[in-house]
């Protein structure tokens, strides 16, 4: 028998049972659920990742909706990606799968731009040097990095986030020219900076591998704020060791939360713990959208007509639309679409 999982309960007499596998930022998402007669159970286990046994014990035999890890009539990721969900299985059992696009575009692009600047100017190395008490005074050769002005930036996956990153990198007084590359290899060979923003599926798994790394410039900068398995991390570690002027900025990892052996020791790698969406407004907005996806399915609401325009759901001074912000398998489940 599975060990009971610790929970925090809101509105214990609510008609609809909604489970959140993790505590989420803010309180608006909680209030929106309990105002609509939901009993909300929030897992308070001190675990980053719940086991299958934990999830079964948490959710039990009857549940109307889940935020976090899938089961029930409706499920929503607190993320824009949903490669962690077996959507085909969800379709088979009639489970609506929600995600949270439109709210984390600028925040994620901002971190990608920050990692680019940090890698180019060797900011993390300089910070460690300073904290270690090694700074004796200014020297001409101390932490010389790359000037980004005039360099070629390549974006692989120019969707919402990739396009926002490109706008940030192009912001300045110098006139900008751009072109659509004929192939990924052209981007790899010509760009000084490459930022990865594709979805993760069978076609993008290990998109950047040993062969493609070898095509890049020896002093190039590679940024990944998309999904870890887009890069063959073992090949990346070898490439960084062989090319000390090559730099990388990573927010995601192939075997997250673990890094491949050797990566943490490399000075030409900047690694941060999946914080691309980590602004207060963005994370609270993601929690709100995830909750409203589940609530909308429970209430029988239609799917919002445009997942790129989620602002009406995020306005704290107004009641959100009677719709699910974003259901990725809405078409497969033949769910109605809002006419608003």
**72 has pLDDT over 80:** no
Active site residue 28: no
141 counts as catalytic: no
SS3 336: coil
Asked whether residue 82 carries a pLDDT value surpassing 60, the answer given is yes
**Least confident among 71-80, 82-91, 233-242:** 71-80
Is residue 2 over pLDDT 70?
A: no
Give the angle 214-217-218 at the CA atoms, nearest 5°: 85
pLDDT of residue 165: 94
Q: What is the pLDDT of residues 286-296, one digit of tens each?
A: 999 999 999 99
227, 239, 247, 283: which is the annotated catalytic residue?
227
Percent of the chain with pLDDT over 90: 75
Residue whose tokens read 């009639």: 94
Which class is domain 104-271? alpha beta
In the chain, % of residues over pLDDT 70: 96
What pLDDT, on a 0 to 100 scale, did the predictor assign at position 208? 98
What is the tens place of the pLDDT at every residue in 33-45?
A: 999 999 999 999 9
Q: Is the pLDDT of residue 49 over 90?
A: no
**Rounded distance between C-alpha atoms, residue 285 and residue 28, angstroms:** 9
Q: Mean pLDDT throughout 213-226?
A: 97
Active-site option among 125, 186, 190, 256: 256
| Statement: residue 70 has pLDDT above 60 | no
Q: Say whether pLDDT at 47 is over 90.
A: no
- Asked if CATH classification 3.40.50.720 holds for the domain at 7-102+279-333, the reply, yes or no, is yes
How high is the pLDDT of residue 144?
A: 79
Model confidence at 63: pLDDT above 70: yes
In the chain, domain spans: 7-102+279-333, 104-271
Is the pLDDT at 176 greater than 70, yes or no? Answer: no
- Does pLDDT of 69 surpass 80? no
Mean pLDDT rounded to a whole number for the chain: 92
Q: Closest by alpha carbon to 104, among 307, 340, 240?
A: 307
184: which 2 tokens? 């990924």
65, 96 contact by CB (below 8 A): no
The two domains 7-102+279-333 and 104-271 share their CATH topology (first three levels equal): yes
The closest alpha carbon to 97, from 312, 331, 336, 286, belongs to 331
Known catalytic membership, residue 227: yes
User: Tokens 């969406």 correspond to what residue?
Assistant: 277
Residue 273, judged by CB atoms within 10 A of its CB (0-12, 13-18, 19+), counts as exposed
Mean pLDDT of 312-327: 94
Rounded to an integer, the average pLDDT of 96-115 is: 94
* Pairing label, strands 153-156, 96-98: unpaired
């Amino acid at each position: 028998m599975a060990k009971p999982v610790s929970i925090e309960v809101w509105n214990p007499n609510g008609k609809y049972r909604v489970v959140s596998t993790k505590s989420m930022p803010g309180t608006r998402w909680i209030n929106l659920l309990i105002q609509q007669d939901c009993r909300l159970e929030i897992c308070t286990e001190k675990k980053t990742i719940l086991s299958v046994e934990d999830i079964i014990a948490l959710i039990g035999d009857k549940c109307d909706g889940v935020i976090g890890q899938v089961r029930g009539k409706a499920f929503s990721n607190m993320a824009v990606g949903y490669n962690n969900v077996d959507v085909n299985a969800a379709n088979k059992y009639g489970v609506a799968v929600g995600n949270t696009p439109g709210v984390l575009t600028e925040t994620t692009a901002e971190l990608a731009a920050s990692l680019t600047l940090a890698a180019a100017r060797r900011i993390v190395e300089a910070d460690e040097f300073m904290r270690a008490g090694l700074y004796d005074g200014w020297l001409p050769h101390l932490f010389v990095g790359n000037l980004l002005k005039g360099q070629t930036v390549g974006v692989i996956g120019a969707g919402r986030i990739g396009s926002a990153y490109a706008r940030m990198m192009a912001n300045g007084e110098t006139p900008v020219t751009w072109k659509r590359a004929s192939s990924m290899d052209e981007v790899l060979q010509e760009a000084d900076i490459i930022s990865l923003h594709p979805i993760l599926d069978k076609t993008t798994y290990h998109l950047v591998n040993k062969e493609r790394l070898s095509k890049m410039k020896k002093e190039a900068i590679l940024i990944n704020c998309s999904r870890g398995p887009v890069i063959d991390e073992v090949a990346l570690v070898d490439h960084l060791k062989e090319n000390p002027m090559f730099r990388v900025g990573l927010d995601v990892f192939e075997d997250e939360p673990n890094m491949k052996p050797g990566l943490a020791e490399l000075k030409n790698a900047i690694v941060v713990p999946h914080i691309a969406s980590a602004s207060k407004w963005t994370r609270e907005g993601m929690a709100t959208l995830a909750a409203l996806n589940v609530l909308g399915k429970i209430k029988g609401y239609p799917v919002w007509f445009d997942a790129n325009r989620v602002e009406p759901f995020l306005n704290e001074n107004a009641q959100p639309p009677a719709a699910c912000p974003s259901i990725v398998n809405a078409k497969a489940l033949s769910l109605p679409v809002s006419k608003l």
